[in-house]
Chain A
Amino acid sequence: MESYLSLAIAILAAPLFPGIILKVKAFFAGKKGPPLLIKYYTLAKLLQKGSVYSNSTSFVFTLGPTVSLASALVVLLFFPFAGADPLFSFHGDVIVLFYLMAIGRFFTVIAALDTASPFEGMGAAREVFFSTLAEATIFTILILFYRLNGSLSFAEYFTGENPISLAGASGALLLFAIVSLFMVLLTENSRVPVDDPATHLELTMIHEVMILDHSGPDLALIELGAFYKLFFYSAFITHLMYPFTLAHGISNGVIFYIIIAIIYGAVGMTESIMARYKMNLVPKFILTSFALVFFAAILTMGVFQ
């Protein structure tokens, strides 16, 4: 019961948090900013609309939004939100889930190429390039976690006897993991300093330019998938920062969502105080995240055991 409830809350609440990012950015800019529920309004608006498809497109174009949403949803099924047991879990599920996210990306990319637009092709090229690098970081994080508690699934990481968290035995190493996971979050969810979702020039975008031709409900599905992805990464970091095995039920949930809100706030803050990197510096940024967690994994070799 608890599992269903926490999953349902997560699914419903995910579009709320990007509103926080906008609020934080508005605060830094000295503006009032859009209402907190803005993303819900956007979704409702998009769902009511119809669509215009490009003449160049084929059925692949419609697969882009659906596959990316489906992959994001499956990931949520396996994640123990606020320490509640997930609906599904097995030894090795993290590998499957990160690959499922990759298939979501694959179809978003080919849907972009389906439109025959030069800009969307450019965005697609950048997206695949940066994600190949981010993938290395993610799997090194998994290596680190396996070294720390010998498990290969989200449920085992965070709900077992020896949960991975900052307060645990080798918490210091998780500093590396948290920093680099935050960098991966920024990369994979197309945030500043890797990509600027609010920019106005198509040439400088990555993710936004890929979905230029999607409109109406299709765009809503993509947005929804993006919210879930961002929510998943934030929840991942949240669990690293605070072990949810200590208390139960309501208090866990409250702490969980507070930390999530803080992380979204941090994303907003990063966006406010940093400029976007030049495209050729982005690989360096991701490579740094890889190096961080690689350091941590190497340090497990003789020392932190």
Chain B
Amino acid sequence: MINFTEAILVIILLSVLFSLGSTRLLALVRIMVLQGVAVSLIPLFLKDHGTLGSGPIIFFQVMILIKGVLIPALLYLAVKRVAIKREIEPFIGYHASIMTGLVIILVSVFITNHLRLSLPTGQATLLIAAITTMASGFFLMMARKKAITQVIGYLMLENGIYLIGTALTKHSHTLYIVEFGVLLDLLVGVMIMGIILNNINTAFDDVDTTLLGRLKD
């Protein structure tokens, strides 16, 4: 029957692709919910990770909570409270973004084949998905105007890093500690962004990063 790891990886890749092509901020936030949950579920289905103790289980629940609920909720609030326009304003158009997505996955397949890591079977896809997610996160940060989309891009980058972590390590606790740290950083980052955006919004009329460029001396 259908292999769940692969199915989830496919969903992650789908979410990456849709995020590159999405034109609405809220849709992008929803996609991030899907991606966050899918990414947090991945370790549960990896075959060689064996049975999980209660510690990791709790960890995963917290992960899902943060990635699937907390961060998106904060993003949602930011979009709503700051009254950011619904449209994502791209530097690089949607068609070109999708095409970039194709190039990214092509390159990540070649990188994965090139690395020749001794991965367990089935985890090569994991690595491909991870690299694709990371690179697309970077791309989103580069190619979109708004500050909030940059945070989303950062979130995607983090998802990719987490996937690489799960691909390369067994269930060692160090991974979780590092990952948890990063996640908390991210959470704080999102909160700070929300506050700053809010303040910028009250002080100025716009939250466009191109305008922030004027602050340079």
Contact = CB atoms under 8 A, between A and B. Distances in A.
Contact, chains A and B (beta carbon distance below 8 A): yes
Interface residues of B, number: 29
Interface string A156-178: 00000000001100111101100
B151 interface: no
B10 A302 contact: no
Interface in B29-44: none
A281 B23 contact: yes
Contacts of B11: 175
Contact of B95 (A175, A179, A284, A296): A284
B7 interface: yes
Nearest to A285: B21
Given A284-B98, A287-B98, A299-B125, A304 B6 contact: yes
B3 A302 contact: no
B109 A179 contact: no
Contacts of A290: 98
B140 interface: no
Residue among A166, A288, A296 with the highest chain B CB neighbour number at 10 A:
A288
Given A288-B17, A295-B17, A303-B124, A172 B3 contact: yes
A286 to B, nearest CB: 10
B13 A304 contact: no
A292 interface: yes
Contacts of B95: 283-284, 287
A170 B125 CA distance: 12
B2 A166 contact: yes
A52 interface: no
Interface size classification for chain A: 20 to 34
B102 interface: yes
B9 interface: yes
Contacts, number: 79
Contacts of A295: 13, 17, 102, 105
Nearest to B94: A284
Interface in A165-209: 166-167, 170-173, 175-176, 179
Contacts of A302: 109, 112-113, 124
A47 interface: no
B109 A288 contact: no
A298 B14 contact: no
Interface string B87-115: 00000001100110110011001001100
Q: Which 9 A-B residue pairs are closest in the complex by CB-CB distance?
A: A172-B6, A171-B2, A172-B7, A284-B94, A303-B125, A288-B21, A172-B10, A303-B124, A175-B10
29 contacts: A167-B1, A167-B2, A171-B2, A171-B3, A172-B7, A172-B9, A172-B10, A173-B6, A175-B7, A175-B10, A175-B11, A176-B10, A176-B13, A281-B94, A284-B21, A284-B23, A284-B94, A284-B95, A287-B99, A288-B98, A294-B105, A295-B17, A295-B105, A298-B106, A298-B109, A299-B105, A299-B109, A302-B112, A304-B125
